A and B are shown apart, each in its own frame.
Chain A
Amino acid sequence: MLEMKHITKRFPGVVALSDISLSLGNGEVHALVGENGAGKSTLMKVLNGVYQADEGQIFIDGKPERPRNTREAQRLGISIIFQEFSLVPYLNAYENIFLGRELLTGLGTVRYSAMRGKARAALEAMNVLLPLDKPVAELTVAEQQFVEIAKATIFECSYLVLDEPTATLTPLEVKKLFEVIRRLQSRGVGCFYISHHLEEIYEIADTVSVLRDGRHVFTGPIGACSQNELISRMVGREVTQAFPPKRPAETMSKEIILDVRALKFEESEMLAFQVRKGEILGIAGLVGAKRSESFLALIGRNHATHKEVYLNGKPCGISSPAAALKQGIGYLPEDRKKSGLFLPFSIRANIVISKLDTLKGMFGFVSARKESDLSAYYVERMRIRTTTDRKMISELSGGNQQKAIIARWLATKCQVLIFDEPTRGIDVGAKAEIYLMLQELAGEGLGIVVISSDLPEVVGIADRVLVMRYGSIRAELAGDDINSEKIMYYAAGGE
Chain B
Amino acid sequence: MSNPDKHTQEAPASGSVSKEPSAHPFMEMAKVVVARPEFVSFLALILLTLFTACYVDFGHDGAARFLTLDNLTNITRQVAVAAILAVGMTFVILTGGIDLSVGAVVALTSTLMAGAIIGGVPFWGACGIALLVGVACGVFSGFFVARFALPAIIVTLAMMEIARGLGLLYSGGNPLPISFEYGFLARNLSVGGFPVPIPTLIMLAMFLIGYIVLNRLPIGRYIYALGGNEEAAILSGIRTRHIKMFVYVVSGFMAAVAGIIQTARVTSGQPNSAIGFELDAIAAVVLGGTSIAGGRGHIVGTLIGALLLGVLNNALNMLEISPYAQRVVKGGVILIAVLIGVLRKTGKK
- Residues on A close to B: CB < 8 A? 301, 320-322, 324-326, 331-333, 338-345, 349, 353-360, 363-366, 370, 372-380, 386-390, 408, 411-413
Contacts and interface: CB of A to CB of B under 8 A. Distances in A.
A50 B10 CA distance: 46
A356, A363, A408, A411 — which one has the most chain B CB atoms within 10 A of its CB? A356
B295 A344 contact: yes
B189 to A, nearest CB: 26
A366 B221 contact: yes
B229 A339 contact: yes
Contacts of A301: 234-235
B218 A344 contact: no
A356 B221 contact: yes
A412 B236 CA distance: 9
Contacts of B18: 387-388
A42 to B, nearest CB: 13
Given A333-B232, A342-B229, A366 B218 contact: yes
Given A360-B218, A379-B15, A333 B231 contact: yes
A298 to B, nearest CB: 13
B234 A321 contact: yes
B225 to A, nearest CB: 5
B11 interface: yes
Contacts of A332: 235
5 contacts: A301-B234, A321-B234, A342-B295, A345-B228, A388-B19
A363 B209 CA distance: 13
B234 to A, nearest CB: 6
Contacts of A388: 17-20
A24 B334 CA distance: 50
B25 interface: no
Contacts of A345: 224-225, 228
Given A321-B234, A331-B235, A413 B2 contact: yes
B225 A353 contact: yes
Contact of B11 (A320, A358, A376): A376
A349 B221 contact: yes
A322 B237 CA distance: 4
A366 B236 contact: no
The B contact surface, by secondary structure, is: loop
Contacts of A374: 7-8, 11
Interface string B211-226: 0100011100110110
A353 B2 CA distance: 18
Contact of A377 (B7, B20, B231, B238): B7
A214 to B, nearest CB: 19
B15 A353 contact: no
Contacts of A380: 11-12, 15-17
Contact of A344 (B4, B217, B296): B296
B17 A376 contact: yes
The A contact surface, by secondary structure, is: helix
A363 B218 CA distance: 12
A108 B225 CA distance: 46
A263 to B, nearest CB: 18
Contacts of B5: 358, 370
Given A322-B234, A322-B239, 19 more contacts: A321-B235, A321-B236, A338-B229, A340-B229, A340-B235, A341-B229, A341-B232, A344-B228, A345-B228, A353-B221, A353-B222, A353-B225, A366-B221, A373-B7, A373-B8, A377-B7, A380-B11, A411-B7, A413-B2
Given A357-B218, A379-B15, A413 B4 contact: yes
Contacts of A412: 237
A338 B7 contact: no
B30 interface: no
B63 interface: no
A357 B237 CA distance: 11
A389 B1 CA distance: 24
A76 to B, nearest CB: 25
B221 A338 contact: no
Contact of B217 (A324, A364, A377, A378): A364
Nearest to B295: A344
Nearest to B297: A344
A339 B296 contact: no
Nearest to B236: A354
Nearest to A368: B216
B346 to A, nearest CB: 13
A358 B2 CA distance: 12
A388 B295 CA distance: 22
A456 to B, nearest CB: 27
Contacts of B20: 388, 390
Contacts of B221: 349, 353, 356, 366
Given A322-B239, A343-B229, A344-B296, A370 B216 contact: no
Contacts of A389: 17
A365 B216 contact: yes
The 7 closest A-B CB pairs, nearest first, are A325-B237, A376-B15, A339-B231, A356-B218, A358-B4, A365-B216, A322-B237
A461 to B, nearest CB: 23
A379 B16 contact: yes
A408 B212 CA distance: 24
B231 A343 contact: no
A340 B231 CA distance: 8
Contacts of A364: 217
A151 B264 CA distance: 64
Contacts of A355: 4
Contacts of A413: 1-2, 4
Given A374-B7, A377-B7, A320 B224 contact: no
Contacts of B17: 372, 375-376, 379-380, 386, 388-389
Interface string B225-252: 1001101111111110000000000000
Contacts of B16: 376, 379-380
A365 B234 contact: no
A378 B12 CA distance: 11
A353 B221 CA distance: 8
Contact of B225 (A320, A326, A342, A357): A342
Contact of B235 (A333, A356, A387, A390): A333
A364 B12 CA distance: 26
A326 B4 CA distance: 13
A321 B4 contact: no
Nearest to A331: B235
A441 to B, nearest CB: 12
Nearest to A389: B17
B8 A365 contact: no
Nearest to B8: A373
A197 B238 CA distance: 36
Contacts of A386: 17
Contacts of A408: 236
Contact of B237 (A338, A341, A354): A354
A183 to B, nearest CB: 37
A143 to B, nearest CB: 24
Nearest to A444: B1
A340 B232 contact: yes
A245 B218 CA distance: 41
A263 B217 CA distance: 37
Contacts of A324: 237
Nearest to B230: A339
A370 B231 contact: no
Contacts of A377: 7, 10-12, 15
Contacts of A322: 234, 237-239
